[in-house]
């Protein structure tokens, strides 16, 4: 669809109120799903973040990388095991996880941002003891549960004009590495930073009343409604921890959380800069 000059102007005017509202504000983006694999979607996400930065917002990226970790494990002859949706992580798997998250994916995101003239820097939760963690469950090995988040390094990086790209690797009391769920990192980081907004990029449209009917998308959920939706089976499976993380975030100061479909081009812009938005928004 080709827009007329007048239609383009209306879009720009519509976005103005959102640009003003989020100017100089922190927005945490959890980057994951198909948008990290498909090259066209990857480029669209990066362009969205670049635009956010150039209109005065301060995006902070937390990225996942599960499929690529699994691929790397297979190359080393290891089969991925999961318990309750969490990867069993022995010493070698932890080393491979750091190799993929910190050495490959983070560098790719940083490079794409830099190529678009946005200064960016990659870091893991081990840098500056940003994400302190303890073992979550002995059965899972080096899978961590966050005990503390130190925001000093991130705030310094943001103040210098850089976009932080954070790998979800935590550090233990004795310097050991822990594999941490990226959604959990993003939610807790948003609270610690007092972020204005948290956006989780996923491979689903949001929460649907009927999982088989995309027209039943629930555009807004209040924290007081979450438990009923879970009890009724509307929020289920892998969506439960995402919604619970968002609920915790908005309960602790984040203004709004959004679960959006990264399979749609420029989904971040549609959510942040337009009246209609997409996906499901969680508010307090």
User: What does the buried/exposed string (b/e) look like for 74-108 if buried means 16 or more CB atoms within 10 Å of the residue's CB?
Assistant: eeeeeeeeeeeebbbbeeebbebbbebbbeebbee
DSSP secondary structure string, 75-118?
A: HTT----EETTEE-B-HHHHHHHHHHIIIIIHHHHHHHHHHTT-
Unique residue bearing structure tokens 């946005």: 118
Residues 6+ apart with CB under 8 A from 63: 30, 31, 32, 36, 101, 105, 106, 109, 165, 166, 167, 168, 182
| pLDDT tens for each residue of 100-126 | 999 999 999 999 999 999 999 999 999
Which pLDDT band, with edges at 50, 70 and 90, does 37 fall under? Answer: confident
Query: How high does pLDDT run on average in the chain?
Result: 89
* Mean per-residue pLDDT, 12-22: 80
Q: Which CATH architecture has domain 22-283?
A: 3-Layer(aba) Sandwich (3.40)
7-10 — which CB contacts under 8 Å span 24+ positions? none
Partner residues linked to 282 by β-bridges: 221, 257
* Mean per-residue pLDDT, 207-224: 86
**Are the beta carbons of 36 and 42 closer than 8 angstroms?**
yes
**Are the beta carbons of 122 and 106 closer than 8 angstroms?**
yes
Which pLDDT band, with edges at 50, 70 and 90, does 156 fall under? Answer: very high
Q: How many CA atoms lie within 13 A of 186 on its CB side?
A: 32
Instruction: Report the greatest alpha carbon distance in the chain.
Output: 61
Pairwise CA distance, residues 221 & 244, whole Å = 12
**Are the beta carbons of 183 and 259 closer than 8 angstroms?**
no
Whether 277 has a pLDDT exceeding 70, the answer reads no
How many residues make up the chain in this entry?
284
* Mean per-residue pLDDT, 241-255: 91
* Domains of the chain, residue spans: 22-283
Residue 98, phi then psi, degrees to nearest 5: -65, -40
Which pLDDT band, with edges at 50, 70 and 90, does 93 fall under? Answer: very high
Which pLDDT band, with edges at 50, 70 and 90, does 275 fall under? Answer: low
Whether 218 has a pLDDT exceeding 70, the answer reads yes
Pairwise CA distance, residues 132 & 174, whole Å = 11
Q: In the β-sheet with 280-283, what is the strand arrangement from edge to edge?
A: 120-124, 163-167, 58-63, 26-31, 197-202, 256-261, 280-283, 220-222
Centre a 10 Å sphere on the Cβ of residue 260 and count the other Cβ atoms it contains: 25
* Mean per-residue pLDDT, 214-241: 88
Pairwise CA distance, residues 219 & 53, whole Å = 26
Tokens of 148: 């503390």
Tokens of 248: 């915790």
């Amino acid at each position: 669809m080709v827009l007329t000059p007048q239609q383009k102007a209306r879009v720009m005017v519509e976005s103005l109120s959102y640009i003003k509202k989020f100017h100089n504000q922190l927005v945490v983006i959890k980057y994951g799903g198909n948008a990290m694999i498909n090259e066209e979607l990857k480029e669209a996400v990066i362009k969205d973040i670049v635009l956010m930065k150039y209109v005065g917002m301060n995006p902070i990226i937390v990225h996942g990388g599960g499929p690529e970790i699994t691929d790397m494990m297979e190359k080393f002859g290891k089969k991925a095991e999961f318990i309750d949706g969490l990867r069993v992580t022995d010493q070698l798997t932890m080393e491979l996880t750091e190799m993929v998250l910190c050495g490959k994916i983070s560098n790719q995101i940083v490079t794409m941002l830099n190529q678009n003239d946005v200064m960016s820097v990659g870091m893991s939760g081990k840098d500056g003891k940003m994400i302190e963690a303890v073992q979550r469950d002995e059965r899972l090995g080096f899978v961590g549960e966050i005990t503390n988040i130190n925001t000093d390094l991130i705030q310094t990086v943001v103040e210098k004009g850089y976009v932080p790209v954070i790998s979800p690797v935590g550090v233990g009391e004795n310097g050991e590495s822990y594999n941490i769920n990226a959604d959990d990192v993003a939610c807790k980081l948003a609270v610690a930073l007092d972020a204005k907004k948290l956006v989780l990029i996923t491979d689903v449209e949001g929460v649907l009343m009927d999982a088989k009917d995309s027209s039943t998308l629930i555009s807004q959920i209040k924290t007081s409604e979450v438990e009923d939706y879970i009890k009724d089976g509307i929020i289920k499976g892998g969506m439960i921890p995402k919604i619970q993380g968002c609920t915790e975030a908005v309960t602790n100061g984040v203004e709004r959380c959004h679960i959006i479909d990264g399979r749609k081009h420029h989904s971040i812009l549609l959510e942040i800069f337009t009246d209609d938005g997409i996906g499901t928004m969680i508010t307090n």
